[in-house]
């Protein structure tokens, strides 16, 4: 519908639109660039900006028309805007972000257990999980598979504890630091206490959504899109809310704790192969206007955190996500601590420059696998949670610095 409006508004610009599933977009884009058959405008993950810029696939938008780009800035949440800044240039326009980590909780289960407000810290989370656990219902659904979303959820928890996967300045893997170790210990405590779902190394995020949506778990750790296609039924069928995942009682990691991790997973970029970048920017500018950005105000799209400031004044968003509005207006979720891209592409790019890594896909795959790579040893009691993640860090470092 919006594309038709664009063509009516700009009859001299013709659109040839193709859609690809999110998980294969990267391969399609790189393949298209290599064969010189790539669209003028691509919609891709913000985490890919350093890769695409390094490969000269995309160009800075402000180099095309700085005045147009600057006109967008004021209406976008600054922290979200900054997710698309690379080497001082805006390489993409973000219309929303996915954020982590979040906690969904069942209001009826809370009332039954005598709990009023969501847990604020890890100690309260342990206490709540214990009170909410029943023989046929765990207190909290957790996931510890190799799926990227599951590791994103864990990363968000670890980053709030001052953890980092990579020390940018030293180019050193830090997964075995206290920030990650103590986050894994939180998972460990939930498992040993019997407060979480069985087989969490085989249960992916959508299965956690199913457990919570079917009221077979009182809480669920997820990302900002708690309302998702994996929800088994109309979320209005039971009373629940979502908020930021509880913070650690005391930060034990050596880095500044992050308010959130976030990534604009459908950011507009213009390729270097475009023969008419001005026309391409006209299309991006169309999507940067309030009429299009209000799509994310809860009236139509309810699973994405809006980039447009005006969405947070919308009664629709207030109704669907009152907690998002409260967090935004209270500067809690968007607090300018250090907002981290979900898969740390910027940090990987620095590592690549420092140590000449062969490709971005190599370290990323190892980052995903090493966070939970020794889960079986951990869950079967051969290793403690701390030993597991320390061993993961040792395993990861030489793999990530192959020349």
DSSP 179-242: HHHHHHHHHHHHHHTT-B-TTTTT--HHHHHHHHHTTSSSEEEE-S--S-TT--S-GGGS-EEE
Q: Is the pLDDT of residue 341 over 50?
A: no
- In terms of average pLDDT, the best of 85-99, 196-210, 327-341 is 85-99
Phi, psi dihedral angles at 139 (to 5 degrees): -70, -30
SS3 content of the chain, % helix, strand, coil (to 5): 45, 15, 40
Residue 97: predicted pLDDT: 93
Q: Do residues 107 and 201 both lie within one domain?
A: yes
Q: Do residues 203 and 114 both lie within one domain?
A: yes
- Between 207 and 348, the more confident residue is 207
Tell me the CA distances in angstroms from 384 to 130, 141, 273, 390, one per residue in order. Answer: 21, 21, 51, 10
- Between 388 and 295, the more confident residue is 295
CA–CA gap between residue 212 and residue 385 (Å, rounded) = 25
Domain-located, residue 390: yes
For the chain, give the mean pLDDT.
Answer: 82
Q: Do residues 251 and 362 both lie within one domain?
A: yes
Do you find a cis peptide bond into 184, omega within 30 degrees of 0?
no
Q: Do residues 245 and 207 both lie within one domain?
A: yes
CB 203 within 8 A of CB 375: no
**In terms of DSSP bridges, do strands 261-263 and 340-341 run parallel, antiparallel, or are they unpaired?**
parallel
SS3 69: helix
Domain-located, residue 296: yes
Q: Is the pLDDT of residue 287 over 70?
A: yes
CB 265 within 8 A of CB 80: no
Domain that holds residue 303: 16-96+265-323
CA–CA gap between residue 373 and residue 378 (Å, rounded) = 10
Q: What CATH number is associated with residue 253?
A: 3.40.190.10
- Between 61 and 204, the more confident residue is 61
Q: Do residues 110 and 92 both lie within one domain?
A: no
Q: How many domains does the chain have?
A: 2
Domain-located, residue 9: no
Domain-located, residue 337: no
Residue 161: predicted pLDDT: 96
**Block residue for tokens 């859609």:** 19
CA–CA gap between residue 126 and residue 124 (Å, rounded) = 5
| Angle at which helices 277-287 and 66-73 cross, to 10° | 10
Q: Do residues 312 and 362 both lie within one domain?
A: no
Q: Do residues 314 and 392 both lie within one domain?
A: no
Q: Is the pLDDT of residue 354 over 50?
A: no
Q: Do residues 254 and 108 both lie within one domain?
A: yes
Burial class (CB in 10 A: 0-12, 13-18, 19+), 333: buried
Domain-located, residue 331: no
SS3 166: strand
pLDDT bucket at 368, cuts 50 / 70 / 90: very low
């Amino acid at each position: 519908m919006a594309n038709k409006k664009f063509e009516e508004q700009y009859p001299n610009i013709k659109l040839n639109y193709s859609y690809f599933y999110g998980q294969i977009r990267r391969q399609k884009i790189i393949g298209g660039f290599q064969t010189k058959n790539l669209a003028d405008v691509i919609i891709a993950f913000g985490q890919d900006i350093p890769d695409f810029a390094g490969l000269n696939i995309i160009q800075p938008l402000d180099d095309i028309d700085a005045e147009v780009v600057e006109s967008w800035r004021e209406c976008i949440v600054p922290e979200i805007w900054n997710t698309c800044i690379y080497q001082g240039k805006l390489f993409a326009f973000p219309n929303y972000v996915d954020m982590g980590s979040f906690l969904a909780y069942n209001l009826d289960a809370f009332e039954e257990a005598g709990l009023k407000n969501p847990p604020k810290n890890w100690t309260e989370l342990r206490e709540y999980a214990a009170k909410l656990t029943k023989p046929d219902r765990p207190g909290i659904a957790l996931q510890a598979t190799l799926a990227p979303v599951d590791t994103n959820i864990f990363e968000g928890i670890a980053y709030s504890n001052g953890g980092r996967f990579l020390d940018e300045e030293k180019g050193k893997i830090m997964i075995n630091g206290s920030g990650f170790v103590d986050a894994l210990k939180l998972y460990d405590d939930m498992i040993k206490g019997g407060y979480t779902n069985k087989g969490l190394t085989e249960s992916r995020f959508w299965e956690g959504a199913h457990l919570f949506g079917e009221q077979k778990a009182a809480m669920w750790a997820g990302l900002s899109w708690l309302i998702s296609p994996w929800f088994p039924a109309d979320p209005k069928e039971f009373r629940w809310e979502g908020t930021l995942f509880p913070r650690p009682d005391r930060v034990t990691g050596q880095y500044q704790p992050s308010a959130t991790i976030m990534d604009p997973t459908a950011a507009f970029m213009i390729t270097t192969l475009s023969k008419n970048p001005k026309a391409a920017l006209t299309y991006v500018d169309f999507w940067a206007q309030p009429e299009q950005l209000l799509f994310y105000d809860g009236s139509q799209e309810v699973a994405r955190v809006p980039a447009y400031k005006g969405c947070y004044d919308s009664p629709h968003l207030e109704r669907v996500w009152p907690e998002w509005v409260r967090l935004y207006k209270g500067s809690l979720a968007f607090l300018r601590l250090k907002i981290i891209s979900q898969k740390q592409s910027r940090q990987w790019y620095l590592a690549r420059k420092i140590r000449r890594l062969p490709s971005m896909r190599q370290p990323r795959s190892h980052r995903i696998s090493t966070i939970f790579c020794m889960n079986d040893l951990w869950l079967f009691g051969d290793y403690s949670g701390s030993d597991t993640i320390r061993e993961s860090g040792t395993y990861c470092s030489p793999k990530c610095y192959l020349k």
